[in-house]
Amino acid sequence: AQGDADAQYTVGTAYSNGSGLTQNAAEAAQWYRLAADQGLAVAQVNLGIAYADGRGVAQNEAEAVRW
């Protein structure tokens, strides 16, 4: 999935939902971050929500707003 934002987002979603993988919010956030850094809007939204809610990352309002 390296370099493929759509694939990275898909892996993040699988970790977030526990679809085929053990549910893991921290892993989901890491994969969303990889895709978000490449400009994938839906990954940026999900990463922002993760920061807002403290799901898989430390709750951080500034990072939530950034994404």
The answer to whether the beta carbons of residues 64 and 29 sit under 8 Å apart is: no
Does the pTM surpass 0.85? The reply is yes
Cα 4 to Cα 44: distance, rounded to the nearest angstrom: 15
Q: What percentage of the chain exceeds 70 in pLDDT?
A: 97
Say if residue 36's pLDDT is above 80. yes
- What average pLDDT does the segment 14-37 reach? 97
